[in-house]
Amino acid sequence: MQSVLFVCLGNICRSPLAQGIFEKHIRAAGRDAAYDADSAGTSGWHAGEKPHSGSIAVAQKYGVSIEKQRSRPVHAKDGEIFDYILAMDSANRAALLGEFHFPQEKIFLMRDFAVDGKKGLSVPDPWGHGSDAFEEVYRILDAAILGFVAYLQQKR
């Protein structure tokens, strides 16, 4: 069993959606027994809360269930527990390295797995934006996670 942690700032918009989309694709690939996924925020601002209604709605639209997730902050031990730690943006990645001192080799920028050839891009924060922003985040995450699942399959 390998484990994957998706990380954003609040753990209510991007990373819960990323976890849900990953679980959907890994199940579709018949590989759900091989991976354990979770998500967390570099802040604890929304600890205990459900995902944002915009994320729940866009997930539901594409057959992804995230409403049972609850926000939690990144824990110091996550750096030991998880095999892959996927940051939604460069600020999240900087916090995982600088504040949490997680091993650099475990940390990836989520969009670097998208097969569009562009590196260093962030998953934009939809917080405070309308449903179009959540739709855009879904589209970006779906492409990046398909690339990530392909990367995991290749590494087998």
List of residues contacting ligand 4NP (CB under 6 A): 8-14, 45, 125, 127
Catalytic-role residue among 13, 14, 78, 89: 14
The distance of closest approach from Cβ of residue 30 to ligand 4NP in the complex, given in angstroms and rounded to an integer, is 29
| 156 tagged catalytic | no
Beta bridge partners of 41: 8, 73
**DSSP track, 26-42:** HHHTT-GGGEEEEEEES
Count CB atoms within 10 A of the CB of residue 7.
29
Q: Which residue has the tokens 């049972």?
A: 68
R_g over Cα of the chain: 14
Q: In the structure encoding, which two tokens stand for residue 96, read together?
A: 């995982």
| 142 tagged catalytic | no
Closest CA to 16 of 54, 93, 71: 71
The distance of closest approach from Cβ of residue 32 to ligand 4NP in the complex, given in angstroms and rounded to an integer, is 24
| 8 tagged catalytic | yes
**Is the Cα torsion angle 90, 97, 139, 150 positive or negative in sign?**
positive
The distance of closest approach from Cβ of residue 18 to ligand 4NP in the complex, given in angstroms and rounded to an integer, is 9
Name the residue nearer to ligand 4NP (CB basis): 140 or 152.
Answer: 140
Name the residue nearer to ligand 4NP (CB basis): 55 or 149.
Answer: 55
Name the residue nearer to ligand 4NP (CB basis): 13 or 114.
Answer: 13
Closest CA to 141 of 4, 10, 20, 12: 20
Catalytic-role residue among 8, 13, 111, 142: 8
Catalytic-role residue among 78, 89, 125, 142: 125
The distance of closest approach from Cβ of residue 122 to ligand 4NP in the complex, given in angstroms and rounded to an integer, is 11
Name the residue nearer to ligand 4NP (CB basis): 30 or 48.
Answer: 48
Active site residues: 8, 14, 125
